[in-house]
């Protein structure tokens, strides 16, 4: 480690200590105690992983009132947006990810509506750059990538009606049951958003060697868990649409085909990122078989060999010839 980097770490540590002293002297004791928890969980210093105890302290702030949870998210976002340090930014995003995956409902709720209504790019890290040295400049690309993945995570969760990291009680059979009652268009739109998440994960920085950095490694591992959940969600919807293929319109068949192709286009990048550990060959086989059946169905519809299907007023499907 070079002299300049060591000096920067020491300066960062002193900044954290100064911030902690400032919160101790503050007259707003409750808000100050919350800021202390956030500072300790996102400290400067060597790029080592935040301890479980400090993450647990952040999550515990969601066990109280809505005001406390709101103050926690505000302090975390202030820390994220106020830093130019790649290590601090990654630790902030790691804390955000833990809120999404393990936080209480009230804490997740405060995060999902930040700053007022959530939305795309609300973490606002697309322009983050740490130019202190070459390595931190490269790590900055991982900060931007991680923030984009977390934003997409929240967007997908809002669409699905549940968080990707669902509680143990949420079984795939229950999810299939909920998907089975959706319209074709709703399922297709769900696939489209889920594939967008896969594309965001696959939009990985070129500096894959930096996965040796403990913070980057943990971010990738954590995102891998989300990716597993996304694979299951896609598999459920692709399977359902595969069974309904005959009822899809020409436009819906084209949209479905496009989603499958976009997913396959990500496979190589995802393999590079996760090292084949989270490839789920069953999903890729399902996509391959569905694409074959889809192409056959599109060809048959073009030739007029498939009867049109319409829904009558009672909601029953009715076939009629051409």
Residues of the chain scoring pLDDT < 70: 1-29, 45-47, 114-121, 166-171, 276-279, 305-322
Contact 79, 92 (CB under 8 A): yes
List Cα–Cα distances, 99 to 19, 34, 72, 96, 283, in angstroms: 23, 15, 11, 5, 28
pLDDT at site 88: 93
What would the two tokens of residue 9 be?
């770490």
pLDDT at site 202: 93
pLDDT at site 277: 66
Closest CA to 203 of 287, 141, 277: 141
pLDDT at site 307: 59
**Collapsed DSSP state (helix, strand, coil) of residue 122:** coil
Contact 130, 139 (CB under 8 A): yes
Look up the pTM and report it.
0.83
**Collapsed DSSP state (helix, strand, coil) of residue 132:** coil
pLDDT at site 310: 46
CA-CA distance, 56 to 42, in Å (whole number)? Answer: 13
DSSP H/E element including 317: strand 317-320
Helices (H), the chain: 3-25, 29-41, 52-60, 66-82, 86-102, 105-112, 134-160, 172-180, 184-202, 214-243, 250-265, 267-274, 281-302
Residue 312 has a CB neighbour count (10 Å cut-off) of: 8
Bridge partner list, 309: 319
Residues 6+ apart with CB under 8 A from 313: none
Bridge partner list, 247: none
List Cα–Cα distances, 205 to 12, 126, 138, 154, 156, in angstroms: 26, 13, 8, 21, 22
Contact 157, 164 (CB under 8 A): yes
What would the two tokens of residue 174 be?
């229950």
pLDDT at site 274: 87
Residues 102, 54, 84: CA angle, nearest 5 degrees: 95
What secondary structure, in 3-state letters, does 9-77 show? HHHHHHHHHHHHHHHHHCCCHHHHHHHHHHHHHCCCCCCCCCCHHHHHHHHHHHHCCHHHHHHHHHHHH
């Amino acid at each position: 480690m070079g002299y300049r980097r060591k000096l920067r770490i020491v300066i960062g540590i002193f900044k954290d200590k100064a911030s902690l002293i400032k919160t101790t002297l503050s007259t707003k004791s409750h808000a100050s105690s919350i800021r202390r928890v956030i500072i300790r969980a996102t400290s400067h210093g060597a790029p080592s992983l935040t301890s479980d105890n400090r993450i647990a302290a952040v999550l515990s702030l969601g066990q109280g009132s809505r005001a406390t949870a709101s103050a926690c998210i505000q302090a975390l976002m202030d820390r994220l947006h106020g830093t130019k340090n790649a290590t601090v930014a990654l630790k902030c995003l790691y804390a955000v990810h833990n809120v999404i995956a393990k936080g209480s409902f009230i804490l997740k709720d405060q995060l999902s509506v930040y700053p007022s209504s959530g939305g795309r790019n609300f973490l606002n890290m697309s322009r983050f750059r740490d130019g202190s040295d070459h390595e931190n400049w490269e790590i900055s690309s991982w900060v931007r990538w991680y923030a984009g993945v977390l934003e997409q995570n929240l967007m997908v969760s809002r669409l699905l009606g549940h968080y990707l990291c669902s509680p143990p009680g949420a079984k795939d059979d229950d999810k299939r049951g909920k998907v089975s009652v959706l319209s074709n268009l709703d399922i297709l739109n769900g696939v489209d958003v889920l594939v967008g998440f896969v594309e965001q994960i696959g939009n990985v920085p070129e500096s894959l060697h930096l996965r040796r950095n403990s913070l980057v490694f943990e971010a990738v591992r954590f995102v891998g868990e989300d990716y597993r959940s996304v694979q299951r969600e896609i598999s459920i919807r692709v399977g359902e649409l595969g069974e309904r293929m005959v009822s899809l319109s020409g436009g819906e068949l084209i949209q479905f085909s496009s989603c499958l192709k976009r997913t396959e286009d990500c496979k190589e990048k995802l393999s590079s990122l996760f090292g084949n550990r989270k490839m789920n060959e069953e999903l890729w086989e399902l996509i391959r078989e569905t694409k074959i059946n889809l192409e056959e169905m599109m060809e048959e519809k073009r030739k007029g060999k498939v009867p049109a299907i319409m829904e009558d007023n009672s909601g029953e499907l009715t076939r009629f010839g051409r």
